[in-house]
Structure 1
Amino acid sequence: MNFGVVRDNLPYLLLGAWPDGPLGGAALTLVLSALSGLAAASVGLVLGIALALVRNRWLHAAVLAVLAFFRAIPVLLLIFWVYFLLPVAFGLDVPKLFTVVVALSLVGGAYLAHSVYSGIQSLAAGQWLAAAALGMTRWQVLRLVLLPQALPMMAPSFINQWVSLIKDTSLAYVIGVAELSFVATQVSNRVMVYPAEIFLAVALIYYLFCASLDLGSGWLSRRYAHIPQL
Structure 2
Amino acid sequence: MGGLDLSFFSWEIVSKFVRQGFIFSLELTAIATVGGIFFGTLLALMRLSGRKLLMMPATFYVNGMRSLPLVMVILGFFLLIPFLIGKPIGAELSAIITFIAFEAAYFSEIMRAGIQSIPRGQVHAGQAVGMTYAQNMKLVILPQAFRNMLPILLTQTIILFQDTSLVYAIGAYDLLKGFTTAGKIYGRPEEAYLLAAVVYFILCFSLSYLVKKLQAKIAIIR
The TM-score, its normalising length taken from structure 1, stands at: 0.87
2:50 alignment partner in structure 1: 55
Kindly indicate whether the alpha-carbon contact (under 8 Å) linking 1:82 and 1:94 is maintained by their aligned counterparts in 2. Answer: no
1:207 alignment partner in structure 2: 201
1:136 alignment partner in structure 2: 131
1:152 alignment partner in structure 2: 147
Q: 1:225 is paired with a residue of what secondary structure? A: helix
Q: 1:129 is paired with a residue of what secondary structure? A: helix
1:78 alignment partner in structure 2: 73
Identity among equivalent positions (%) equals 26
Q: How many residues align?
A: 218
Q: CA deviation at 1:170?
A: 0.9
1:3 alignment partner in structure 2: 6
Q: 2:118 is paired with a residue of what secondary structure? A: coil
- Does structure 1 residue 216 correspond to structure 2 residue 220? no
Runs of 4+ in 1 over 6 A off after TM superposition: none
Query: 1:14-163 maps to which residues of 2 (within 5 A)?
Result: 14-15=18-19, 24-52=20-48, 54-163=49-158
CA distance in 1 between partners of 2:54 and 2:22 (Å): 41
Q: Deviations over 1:149-168 (max 9, x none)?
A: 11111111211111111111
More helix by share: 2
Q: 2:23 is paired with a residue of what secondary structure? A: helix
Q: CA deviation at 1:92?
A: 4.0
CA RMSD between the two structures: 1.7
Q: 1:136 is paired with a residue of what secondary structure? A: coil
Q: CA deviation at 1:117?
A: 0.8
Kindly indicate whether the alpha-carbon contact (under 8 Å) linking 2:158 and 2:204 is maintained by their aligned counterparts in 1. Answer: yes
Q: Deviations over 1:58-86 (max 9, x none)?
A: 53122111111111111111112221111
